[in-house]
Amino acid sequence: MTIESIEIEKPKRNEVLVRTSVSGLCHSDLHFIEGKYPTPVPAVLGHEAAGVVEAVGQDVTHVKPGDHVVTCLSVFCGHCEYCVTGNQTLCSNTAIKMPPGIAQRLRWKGAHLNQFLNLSSFAEQMLVHENAVVKIREEMPLDLAALLGCGVLTGYGAVVHSAKLKPGTTVAILGCGGVGLSTIPAARLAGACRIIAIDIDPAKLEMARTFGATDSMDAKDPEMVSKIVEMTGGGVHYSFECIGLKSTTEASFSMLRPRGLSTIVGMIPLGTKIELHGFDFLRERRIQGTLMGSNHFRLDIPGLVEFHMQGRLMLDQLVSNRLKLEQINEGFAALQAGGVTRNMVVFN
Q: What amino acid positions are annotated as catalytic residues?
A: 26, 28, 31, 47, 150
User: Smallest Cα–Cα separation from 98: which of 64, 126, 132?
Assistant: 132
For residue 42, cis peptide bond before it (omega within 30 degrees of 0): yes
CA–CA dist 90, 79 (Å, integer): 12
* Non-local CB neighbours of 305 within 8 Å, separated by 6+ positions: 136, 137, 140, 145, 148
What number of residues does the chain have?
348
CB 137 within 8 A of CB 148: no
238 DSSP 8-state letter: E
Cβ-based neighbours of 140, under 8 Å, separated by 6 or more: 68, 305, 308, 309
Integer Cα distance of 344 and 342 in angstroms: 6
